[in-house]
Structure 1
């Protein structure tokens, strides 16, 4: 019988009960954190840590691409292309040891994250149960 770390069990439960909106926000935050850690490691010439952190950010971008519903239209397709661009840019940043390229991805991720957070706030503030004075609840 495996012993479960209480903190790990708590974190796993926390992630499993998040809304999809907040889960995407959490993925953006994680990708940003790993990119920034990779940048710091690059400044310290710790290339193993650079590869590890950028690889983790790439994994998050891969997850975002894999779970994106591209059938909903142009916005989703363009978002997929942006994720793919960032993924490839991080791979090249790692190969070329380019902090500039990492910063470019950080800037794009930060803009997406901030836009997503704002969209969540707007969604949560809007009462979708009533529209144009019509109460759909009865």
Structure 2
């Protein structure tokens, strides 16, 4: 008999039933989470754990980059920002510098908070 993992089931359900704007917010929140975990692991000299979480944050940035819709003018600016953040995470991974993680975490937090506010404002209009 297979064991059901309630949290994983919940996560899968949340992803499959969410609107595109909510999925974007989940990606931003996930990126913040993985950057923080990577930074924490680095501070605790757990280099493999730091590397693993850094790669997850990079994967999220890659996903955000490929899902941009080029017909919107802001897409070019977001692509450039995501690309910069990804290159900084690579640099943080190589150089093992917490301050680089903190820089990228700041951008990720700002994106997450801005997107969350935009969703709330849009929902209040509807």
Determine if the TM-score, normalized by the shorter chain, exceeds 0.5.
Answer: yes
Q: For residue 71 of structure 1, give the secondary structure of its aligned residue in structure 2.
A: coil
Contact 1:70 / 1:80 at 8 angstroms: preserved in 2?
A: no
Which residue does the alignment assign to 1:29? 29
Runs of 5+ consecutive residues of structure 1 not aligned to the other structure: 128-138
Deviation at 1:13, TM superposition (A): 1.9
Alignment partners' CA distance in 2, 1:42 and 1:71: 39
**TM alignment of 1:13-28, pairs within 5 A:** 13-28=13-28
Q: What are the Cα deviations for residues 32-54 of structure 1, in whole angstroms up to 9, with x where unaligned?
A: 00000011111111110110010
Aligned alpha-carbon RMSD (Å): 1.5
Structure having the higher helix fraction is: 2
Aligned length: 125
Which residue does the alignment assign to 1:93? 92
Larger Rg: 1
Regions of 4+ moved over 2 Å = 2-11
Which residue does the alignment assign to 1:72? 72
Deviation at 1:6, TM superposition (A): 4.8
Q: TM-score, normalised by structure 2?
A: 0.93
Runs of 5+ consecutive residues of structure 2 not aligned to the other structure: none
User: Could you say which structure has the greater relative contact order, defined with CA pairs below 8 angstroms and 6 or more residues apart?
Assistant: 2
**TM alignment of 1:45-124, pairs within 5 A:** 45-73=45-73, 75-124=74-123
Deviation at 1:3, TM superposition (A): 4.6
Alignment partners' CA distance in 1, 2:11 and 2:42: 29
Alignment partners' CA distance in 2, 1:11 and 1:39: 24
Q: What are the Cα deviations for residues 36-89 of structure 1, in whole angstroms up to 9, with x where unaligned?
A: 00111111111101100100000001000011112222x111001101110110
Alignment partners' CA distance in 2, 1:41 and 1:6: 26
